[in-house]
């Protein structure tokens, strides 16, 4: 049932953001809350946005997708150019549509950059195509590790949250430094305190470390047991070997198994360890996001705040 939607005097709808690492229980909680408060869900996940990449992306399952309208899940083709700016534009449109239907909006996911761009817009640092092409060539010739080391030597705070494999964001940080002479982390820290585009409440689901690690191990095992290798084989056959999501955790390891560079046990362990490191980076990111409330299971604080307890 549609509810009254809290708004500012400028008429902007309030967003309810549920963030957290993989395995924290975001999807199930969000669907339960959305049903109770009359909301639609906008996914803020940089991998779940791609079509055909299903087993390894922690997308909400079909049983959840049919219960509540979801936006930006399986929304674009793997080969399409995509960015945080485009995601935010699509999210703006989804939010406007939900509000027009008299629905509230839950933004759900762990991609902190997407949520920051949605709430505060892009940093005022326009891209420089010449610098970017040079950095892309450097990544091809020297490898992503070399670029990540370079960024770490320039700006450890910018490099810390980024995986070595996250070449696009490493290049963007180096591009900002090259074109402005400023530290990307400093510019982004200032950007976090820019006026919000929407009034927002943010909760970060934060299970105890041992519980989260247990969930991540279980999820990794279930991914590989549930058809990840077969999915990657189909994706490669369909021409998606070089698609951006194929470089994400889980897909990269599954591809290595299929190409004979890892055995399955090693691939599962590497996937677990990288996912655990990513979860730590997500926690660090949202620690720096103003207004974020960290909540432990069973997340009754979130339910109570929304009147859904």
Burial class of 259 by CB neighbour count within 10 A (0 to 12, 13 to 18, 19+): exposed
What is the pLDDT, as a whole number, of residue 199?
94
What is the pLDDT, as a whole number, of residue 279?
94
92 and 27 within one domain: yes
- The residue-averaged pLDDT of 150-177 equals 88
147 and 69 within one domain: no
Binned at pLDDT 50, 70 and 90, residue 211 comes out as very high
Binned at pLDDT 50, 70 and 90, residue 10 comes out as low
Examine residue 293 and state whether it is found in any structural domain, yes or no: yes
What is the pLDDT, as a whole number, of residue 5?
54
- The residue-averaged pLDDT of 278-283 equals 92
Nearest to 279 by CA among 169, 161, 164, 166: 161
201 and 184 within one domain: no
- Considering only residues 65 and 126, tell me which one the structure prediction assigns the higher pLDDT: 65
42 and 157 within one domain: no
What is the pLDDT, as a whole number, of residue 192?
61
Binned at pLDDT 50, 70 and 90, residue 225 comes out as very high
Cα dihedral 60, 66, 72, 75 sign: positive
Phi, psi of 31, deg, nearest 5: -65, -45
Q: Which domain does 45 fall in, by range?
A: 15-123+195-208+282-305
Q: What is the CATH number of the domain that holds 257?
A: 1.10.287.890
86 and 40 within one domain: yes
Q: Contact at 8 Å (CB) between 43 and 133?
A: no
95 and 136 within one domain: no
Burial class of 287 by CB neighbour count within 10 A (0 to 12, 13 to 18, 19+): exposed
- Write out pLDDT tens, residues 247-270: 899 999 999 999 999 999 999 999
- Considering only residues 203 and 140, tell me which one the structure prediction assigns the higher pLDDT: 203
What is the 8-class DSSP label of residue 12? P
Binned at pLDDT 50, 70 and 90, residue 8 comes out as very low
pLDDT over 70 (residue 215): yes
Examine residue 242 and state whether it is found in any structural domain, yes or no: yes
Q: Contact at 8 Å (CB) between 11 and 85?
A: no
Examine residue 32 and state whether it is found in any structural domain, yes or no: yes
Examine residue 6 and state whether it is found in any structural domain, yes or no: no
pLDDT over 50 (residue 152): yes
Q: Give the chain's mean pLDDT.
A: 90
243 and 139 within one domain: no
Q: What is the CATH number of the domain that holds 151?
A: 1.10.20.140
Examine residue 246 and state whether it is found in any structural domain, yes or no: yes
- Considering only residues 133 and 112, tell me which one the structure prediction assigns the higher pLDDT: 112
231 and 98 within one domain: no
By DSSP bridging, strand 39-43 and strand 104-108 are: parallel
236 and 183 within one domain: no
Distance, in Å, from the CA atom of 191 to the CA atom of 285, rounded to the nearest integer, reads 14
Task: Report yes or no on whether pTM surpasses 0.85.
Answer: no
State what percent of residues in the chain have pLDDT above 90. Answer: 68
Q: What is the CATH number of the domain that holds 85?
A: 3.40.50.300
Binned at pLDDT 50, 70 and 90, residue 3 comes out as very low
pLDDT over 90 (residue 54): yes
Give one DSSP letter per residue of 66-131, joined into a string: TTS-EESSS-B-TTS---HHHHHHHHHHHHHHHHHTT-EEEEE-S-HHHHHHHHH---S----HHH
- The residue-averaged pLDDT of 204-220 equals 97
Examine residue 8 and state whether it is found in any structural domain, yes or no: no
204 and 171 within one domain: no
Examine residue 2 and state whether it is found in any structural domain, yes or no: no
- Domain tally for the chain? 3
Distance, in Å, from the CA atom of 239 to the CA atom of 222, rounded to the nearest integer, reads 25
204 and 91 within one domain: yes
Distance, in Å, from the CA atom of 237 to the CA atom of 247, rounded to the nearest integer, reads 16
Distance, in Å, from the CA atom of 210 to the CA atom of 202, rounded to the nearest integer, reads 24
Examine residue 4 and state whether it is found in any structural domain, yes or no: no
174 and 112 within one domain: no
pLDDT over 80 (residue 123): no
């Amino acid at each position: 049932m549609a509810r009254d939607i809290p708004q500012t005097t400028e008429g902007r709808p309030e967003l309810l953001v549920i963030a957290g690492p993989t395995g924290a229980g975001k999807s199930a909680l969000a669907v339960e809350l959305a049903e109770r408060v009359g909301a639609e869900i906008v996914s803020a996940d940089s991998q779940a946005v791609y079509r055909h990449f299903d087993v390894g992306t922690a997308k909400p399952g079909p049983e959840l997708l049919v219960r509540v309208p979801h936006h930006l899940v399986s929304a674009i083709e793997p080969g399409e150019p995509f960015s945080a700016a485009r995601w935010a534009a699509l999210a703006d449109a989804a939010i406007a549509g939900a509000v027009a239907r008299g629905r509230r909006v839950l933004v759900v996911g762990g991609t902190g950059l997407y949520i920051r761009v949605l709430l505060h817009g892009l940093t005022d640092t326009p891209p420089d195509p010449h610098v970017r092409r040079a950095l892309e060539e450097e990544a091809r010739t020297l490898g992503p590790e070399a670029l990540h080391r370079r960024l770490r030597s320039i700006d450890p705070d910018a490099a810390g949250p980024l995986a070595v494999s996250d070449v696009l964001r490493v290049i963007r940080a180096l591009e900002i430094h090259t074109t402005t002479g400023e530290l990307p982390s400093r510019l982004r820290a200032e950007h976090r305190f820019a006026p919000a585009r929407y009034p927002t409440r943010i909760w970060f689901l934060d299970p105890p470390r041992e519980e989260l690690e247990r969930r991540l191990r279980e999820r990794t095992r279930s991914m590989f047991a549930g058809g990840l290798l077969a999915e990657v084989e189909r994706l490669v056959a369909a021409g998606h070997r070089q698609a951006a999501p194929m470089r994400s955790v889980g897909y990269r390891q599954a591809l290595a198994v299929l190409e004979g560079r890892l055995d399955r046990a090693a691939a599962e362990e590497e996937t677990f360890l990288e996912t655990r490191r990513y979860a730590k980076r997500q926690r660090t990111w949202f620690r720096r996001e103003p207004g974020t409330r960290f909540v432990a299971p069973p997340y009754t604080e979130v339910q109570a705040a929304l009147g859904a307890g």
